[in-house]
Chains A and B, each alone.
Chain A
Amino acid sequence: MDIFLTLVINGLSEGALIFLMASGLSIICGLMGVVNFSHGALFVWGGYTFVWIYRMTNSFVLGILAAVISVFILGIIFEKFFVNKVYGNAPAQILITLGLQIVFTDLVRLLWGATPIAVGRPAYLAGTTIIAGVTIVHYRVFLIVVGLLVALIVGYILSHSKTGMIIRAGVQRPDMVQALGINIKLYFTIVFAAGAALAGLGGALYAPLVGNVVSTAGAYNQILAFIVVVIGGLGNFVGTAKGCIFLGIMGAFVAWFAPSLAVVANVGLMAIVLAFKPEGLFGTAVKK
């Protein structure tokens, strides 16, 4: 029972981390229709910026803020100068974002080196608590709380605010949104940058969890994010959130009981979903 609860908490925290990465991708890929292979690079930039500022200032919060803001700006640059030119052209999107992923991951290596940089958790998030024989890692609980908060805020914005309405409408008929007097291009830039910032936040929070930051982390986490976006249903934000919980918990259990199958299980699940329920496990994806 103890191990069961520990694995659930581990799974939920992993799910929360995947969610931070995948929620941005769900918006960019699912809602805006951009196949964004640069998401991993944005994740890594978030991680490195966090570690750089955290080590310099010794402030965890400043490090997180710096990661989010810098990746938000990077998102604006990506959208304005590259992605914006290839809306509606999936092959071009794959090529251009893959190119950005390679260039910006290499830039990370150039700036900070290829060797992993160690990073610890701040003292107030570093401990553990044992309740009824179950070891609860504070940092993992913190990740679950952050993931929940982000899910609630983004979910609320998408479904209840005028901005959310504009995004949902703009994805379906950008020309008509423009004809109603709304600058949809500006919204798309901001949405892309916000999705990027979420990846940056994910990268920043991931580093203290695994104890280091390394340039290859982006590609691995990007695959996980794509898997949950597919499982959740393209464009289905709530589905993506459920997909993250599902994948996180499944990953924790598989890693414990059959560690060699950890990667295979994720990809296998995605393949099964694509084969039997291509619209996603959790409800219907947004039609375009």
Chain B
Amino acid sequence: MKSILKAENLVSYIGLYTILQGVDVEVNKGEAIAILGRNGAGKTTFLKTIMGLVNTRSGSIELEGESLVGMPAYNIAKKGIGYVPEDYGVFDELTIEENLRLAVRKETPDGEDRIAKVFDLFPDLKIAYKRLAKTLSGGQRQMLSISRSLVNDNKIILIDEPSKGLAPVVIESLGLALREISKESTILLVEQNFSLACAVASRYYIIDEGKTVLNGTIKDLLKDKELQAKHLGI
């Protein structure tokens, strides 16, 4: 399978603190990969480092063989990476329409069609199209955030804890939507909700104290209760 994203021995820092201390992850085309780990393990920082929002000290990040290290965030996004941050990152003072239109990049000629397509996935957004994002519920904000990553022809979508703070019923429908998205897109998913991660991803990496400590298939992980307890506290 063709490798889309590859991080090797990645070390990154925020201010005086080194957060990632050797992360190795490889995502192949069409895969949905889950990044698992306890709170504060460095999962969110890993996604931010890929996006160029956190500085890399050493190691490499490659998108289809091209190095992303040192590249400004806006160029990384233009290379074909969609990003859904854990706090949704929607623009409160903009309407849903404006949030979506802003996300369509110049090099995406079929942006309008893509916006129409996300409404099939998230009909709630179509109803509230002209509403300001600040008026949306947590679930709707998450839908909007994910939708923004779908309006371009991205090579990979990084999704950070989409279930965080959402009601169980919303998480269930979100899981269905993510599974639908994973049929057409390559996904790197950071998720604390183990059942959601397992429903979406086929492989996993576990990050602990800023390092990749384990990887394998979700099938194997589901069978191994001892491993789940040791690394994920389940």
How many Å lie between the Cα of A169 and that of B94 in the bound state?
Answer: 7
Q: How would residues 67 to 91 of chain B score, 1 for a CB under 8 Å from any chain A CB and 0 otherwise?
A: 0000011110110000101000101
Find out whether the CB atom of A182 lies under 8 angstroms from the CB atom of B74: yes
In the complex, what residues of B have CB within 8 A of residue A179's CB?
51, 53, 73-74, 77, 83, 85, 89
In the complex, what residues of A have CB within 8 A of residue B78's CB?
181
In the complex, what residues of B have CB within 8 A of residue A162's CB?
101-102
How near does chain B come to A174, taking the closest CB pair, in angstroms? 10
Find out whether the CB atom of B91 lies under 8 angstroms from the CB atom of A176: yes
How many Å lie between the Cα of A181 and that of B75 in the bound state?
Answer: 6
How many Å lie between the Cα of A183 and that of B52 in the bound state?
Answer: 13
Interface positions, chain B 122-154, Cβ under 8 Å from A, are 148, 152
Find out whether the CB atom of B91 lies under 8 angstroms from the CB atom of A169: yes
Interface positions, chain A 175-198, Cβ under 8 Å from B, are 175-184
Whether B226 sits at the interface, judged by CB under 8 Å, is no
Given contacts A183-B72, A286-B93, A287-B92, is CB(A178)–CB(B102) below 8 Å?
A: no
Find out whether the CB atom of A172 lies under 8 angstroms from the CB atom of B91: yes
Find out whether the CB atom of A176 lies under 8 angstroms from the CB atom of B74: no
How near does chain A come to B161, taking the closest CB pair, in angstroms? 16
Count, chain A residues at interface, CB 8 A: 19
Whether A258 sits at the interface, judged by CB under 8 Å, is no
| Closest CB pairs A-B (n = 5) | A181-B77, A178-B73, A176-B89, A169-B91, A181-B78
How near does chain A come to B82, taking the closest CB pair, in angstroms? 9
Residue of A172, A173, A179, A184 most packed against chain B (CB within 10 A): A179
Whether A119 sits at the interface, judged by CB under 8 Å, is no
Interface positions, chain A 148-184, Cβ under 8 Å from B, are 162, 165-166, 168-169, 172-173, 175-184
Q: Report which B residues bind A (CB closer than 8 A).
A: 51-53, 72-75, 77-78, 83, 85, 89, 91-94, 98-99, 101-103, 105, 148, 152
In the complex, what residues of A have CB within 8 A of residue B94's CB?
165, 168-169
Q: List 20 A-B contacts (CB under 8 A).
A: A162-B101, A166-B102, A168-B94, A169-B91, A169-B93, A175-B53, A178-B74, A179-B74, A179-B77, A179-B85, A179-B89, A180-B77, A180-B102, A181-B77, A181-B78, A181-B105, A181-B152, A182-B74, A183-B74, A184-B74
How near does chain B come to A177, taking the closest CB pair, in angstroms? 8
In the complex, what residues of B have CB within 8 A of residue A181's CB?
74-75, 77-78, 105, 152
How many Å lie between the Cα of A180 and that of B148 in the bound state?
Answer: 8
Find out whether the CB atom of B89 lies under 8 angstroms from the CB atom of A178: no
In the complex, what residues of A have CB within 8 A of residue B92's CB?
172, 287
Choose one: B77, B91, B99, B105; the contact of A178 (CB below 8 Å).
Answer: B77
How many Å lie between the Cα of A20 and that of B89 in the bound state?
Answer: 33
How many Å lie between the Cα of A176 and that of B85 in the bound state?
Answer: 8
In the complex, what residues of A have CB within 8 A of residue B99's CB?
169
How many Å lie between the Cα of A167 and that of B51 in the bound state?
Answer: 21
Residue of A nearest to B80 (CB): A181
